[in-house]
Amino acid sequence: MGGTFDPIHYGHLLAAEECRSKLGIEKIIFVPTGDPPHKKDYKIASAEDRYAMTLLATAGVAEFSVSRTEIDRAKFTYTVDTLLEFNAAGIKPDELFFITGLDAMLSITHWFDYERIPELCTLVTATRPGWNVKALKKLPEFILRNLKIIEIPQFAVSSTVVRERIKNNMSIRFLVPHLVEIYIASNGLYKI
């Protein structure tokens, strides 16, 4: 499951669990992005902070783990490289699913070497309230053939909402796991 996770919230965890149970996935590996080549519009929390929060959010869930692979990559991180790494580690393409949000999936044709991605895994997109699934139709046929759409229970939270609430001194309790809330407060994240 790939994402910036800036910060991770219950929407991500709910999406992960829904995909796991609906697709019969054995294990969900959260892969926080390292230095995203496409994120130039706002300053994101450091890779280490986002990694730490993802670890705290998933701690104690036997089927969930977190990978440092993109965090530790010295160069820009591309999904295709991550999938190749997982394949090389022995997870065959028919056993590997790449899960991400609908907005992110809609931009897949701009990703580096995206044409190779359907050979390396099955794509999965998690839908959220207010997101237009019909927009996916614009994606090329070879992507759509490889794509599974999983509907997630209505829970309208996003990382942007969480960051905005912190900036406006509003509570984020029950939007993110308690340990993530404590981490954000202790480290003064997203205040400005």
Interface residues with ligand NAP (CB under 6 A)?
1-4, 11-12, 15, 33, 36-38, 77-79, 99-101, 103-104, 107, 111-112, 126, 158-160
Q: Which two three-digit tokens encode residue 110? A: 């701009």
Q: For residues 39 and 145, which CB has a smaller minimum distance to ligand NAP in the complex?
A: 39
At its nearest, how many Å lie between ligand NAP and the CB of residue 155? 11
Q: Among all residues, whose Cβ is closest to ligand NAP?
A: 2
Q: For residues 104 and 179, which CB has a smaller minimum distance to ligand NAP in the complex?
A: 104
Q: Decide the pairing of beta strands 147-151 and 97-101.
A: unpaired
Separate counts of helices (H) and strands (E) for the chain: 8, 6
At its nearest, how many Å lie between ligand NAP and the CB of residue 145? 19
H-assigned helices in the chain: 10-23, 47-58, 79-88, 102-106, 117-120, 141-144, 159-167, 178-186
Angle at the Cα of 59 from the Cα atoms of 74 and 19, rounded to 5 degrees: 85
3-state percent helix, strand, coil for the chain, nearest multiple of 5: 45, 15, 45
DSSP state of 111: S
At its nearest, how many Å lie between ligand NAP and the CB of residue 187? 19
At its nearest, how many Å lie between ligand NAP and the CB of residue 113? 8
